[in-house]
Chains A and B, each alone.
Chain A
Amino acid sequence: MPTPTSEGQGDLCLTNVTKRFGDFTAVDDLSLTIPQGSFFALLGASGCGKTTTLRMVAGLERPTAGTISIGEEDITEAKPYARPVNTVFQNYALFPHMTVLDNVAFGLKRRKVADATKTAKEGLELVELGHLAGRKPAQLSGGQQQRVALARALVNHPAVLLLDEPLGALDLKLRRQMQLELKKIQEEVGLTFVHVTHDQEEAMTMADTIAVMNAGVIEQLGHPTELYERPASTFVANFLGQSNLLAGEISDRVGGDLVVQVGGHKLALPGDRSTRQDGKVWLGVRPEKLRIGLAGGADGAGRNHLDGVVLDASFTGVSTQYLVRLAWGQAITVVAQNDGSALLRDGDQVQVSWVPQHGFALDAAQDAFAGAQRVGDDDTPVPALGGAR
């Protein structure tokens, strides 16, 4: 591989970074440390400041306040061309007047690296495009252009590689394939990848660490499983997968467990899975953690139980998604594995249950709808939340 420019480089650190456009704050007092060699995903809804954050790291935008550093070196004021950072742009931004090979060699030649062409060829081989080296970008498919953009950034061996939704334009199949390829390449070259996306599945399959961003601030940061199993805010609970959020109040404490009163039911929750130890909370549980059965059926002890009526059942093959109305009118979503048990029908009286360890509780002051995906057709209530307020 080419001589790394990343010798002795370290972690990428953003400290209290703020970016304002006029009086609009796009990024608000953001602090973040991305360890060297990690695959970091920045996840968030459209317009939450992801691109702005990347552009500040790349030097294409100046932070209004705060500092950015790589290892020991403060790069806040450094010009883009002087930073050991390369970007794979959202729109690829390939140079239309150059061949694919010249595009890939561009950065190497500017840095006067010996054997620029040879290194560029190796870079193209890495993304399996060696045979198209002589073409112009306009003669490539979208997926091929994307790989050229990736190769053009990768060959420079930057300390940090920034990827701004590089898979956004691809169809689902190519996208899955490219995700795996990107992950493989990252493991091979061992660079720090900062990957921006608004596709939560993409973030979870690829990244070691995910930061969920909302309105210019980071809501939560952690390993994908941690974020999924223990969301720290309603935004994360809804944005990363789906959540059923039940309005409740902590009434008691039994050993390590909290007792949460929800619609007259006492539900248990391990104390360390709640962000507060008393007062009103949202009790959350993921749809696939719920077990559903006909009312009156025997169910394991030590589980939380709620009764309800099936409102809607949609069979999707591997699983069935039920919409269940609880006693107080709220509808919750249950995803049941298709393990051969009989399908339930609309109107069936059912009991849903879950293990206390699968629940989580969040401060009730937060908006239960924050980060929830909009559902296309109007007659379906927003999943799991109908009547919760």
Chain B
Amino acid sequence: MSAIGSLGGAGGRTKTAPDRPEKRRLTPYWLLVPGMAWLLIFFVVPMVFLGSQSLQTGSFEDGTKLTWNFSIYWETLRGYWPHYARSIGFAALATIAALLIGYPLAYMIAHKSGRWKNILLVLVIAPFFTSFLIRTLAWKTILSSGGPVVWFFQQTHLTDLLQWLHLTDKDTLLATPFAVIAGLTYNFLPFMVLPLYASLDRLDHRLLEAAGDLYSRPFTAFRRVTLPLSMPGVVAGTLLTFIPAAGDYINSVLLGNTRSTMIGQVIDGQFLRVLDYPQAATMSFILLIIILAIVMTYVRRSGTEELV
């Protein structure tokens, strides 16, 4: 916002003092205009609109009025905190799963794939060629009872483990929190792999040789050299996975049950079916604030600015 303010001021000065060096100094600001305008129109304005809507009262049929109804925030939190907690929890688990799957995958593509590198990278983004919805629907078939995945989980008694963790009920996988988390993990995995790949690909293999030369076993070399140098990728990947996963509702609609409803699903219902716009806006705003708070704490704790 301050950048926009200074932009206006700068524009004013050009008119009064149109000398050359001044103009050149302002060029960078002029170049910012399209980007700033974009942010203003598509981010700031909707935000303000949403914020004001959340504080209105009335009904869809009779119209709503701004009444500064702050109590709705408190009531929403009290009524829907399990949905928020579930959203954050599922997103966090999906992010961790995506990191555990994505890191070795990205490492392999960056350092071990040789001439298969480009093909593997295309394969990572290949799912994007079909719609999000279709891909999620495909998981219904994959996880359906009587399918090979369920059979495998039963044989290995993983179903018991998941049940014990309260992620599934009985011997099914579909329509459980587990299915929702699996869907989230699958759908956002490329967002984890690509930034990880970018930072691992830049890693100089000779640094690992140097670490080995300096008495590091492979695991120590990984912990002391590879991992810290790939932290920017880890942070970027986890953010790109966590943020959209926390607001997602397709996975919980298609793969979940009534007890695995995520907040995105509730917001969707309020906006499009119940048509209670103030309620939906409030829910969206709360989700936004929670995600922002988590992300800021996380980025600060992981100390990315100290990394190269």
Contacts and interface: CB of A to CB of B under 8 A. Distances in A.
A and B form one complex: yes
Interface in B191-243: 204, 206-207, 209-217, 220, 224-225, 228-229
Contact of B213 (A87, A91, A111, A136): A87
A79 B212 contact: yes
- Chain A, interface size category, equals 20 to 34
B308 interface: yes
Interface string B248-265: 000000000000000000
A96 interface: yes
A82 to B, nearest CB: 8
B1 interface: no
Interface residues of B, number: 19
B206 A58 contact: no
Contacts of B204: 93
A48 to B, nearest CB: 21
A159 to B, nearest CB: 13
Given A91-B206, A96-B229, A97-B228, A138 B308 contact: yes
Given A93-B206, A93-B207, A97-B229, A81 B212 contact: yes
Contacts of A86: 213-214
Given A89-B206, A89-B210, A110-B220, A97 B215 contact: no
Interface string A65-87: 00000000000000111000111
Contacts of B229: 96-97
B227 to A, nearest CB: 10
B307 interface: yes
Given A81-B217, A136-B308, A156-B214, A93 B225 contact: no
B207 A95 contact: yes
Given A93-B204, A97-B228, A97-B229, A110 B212 contact: no
A87 to B, nearest CB: 5
A89 B207 CA distance: 10
Given A93-B204, A97-B229, A97-B307, A106 B214 contact: yes
A59 B214 CA distance: 12
B71 to A, nearest CB: 49
Interface string B290-308: 0000000000000000011
Interface string A130-164: 00000010100000000000001100100000000
A136 B204 CA distance: 17
A60 B214 contact: no
A102 to B, nearest CB: 10
A107 interface: yes
Contacts of A79: 212, 217
A93 B210 contact: yes
A79 B212 CA distance: 8
B195 to A, nearest CB: 17
Contacts of A106: 211, 214, 216, 224
Given A95-B225, A138-B308, A111 B207 contact: no
A93 B209 contact: yes
A107 B206 contact: no
A95 B224 CA distance: 10
Contacts of B209: 60, 80, 89, 93
Closest 10 CB pairs of A and B: A107-B214, A93-B210, A110-B215, A80-B212, A93-B206, A81-B215, A96-B308, A87-B213, A97-B228, A111-B215
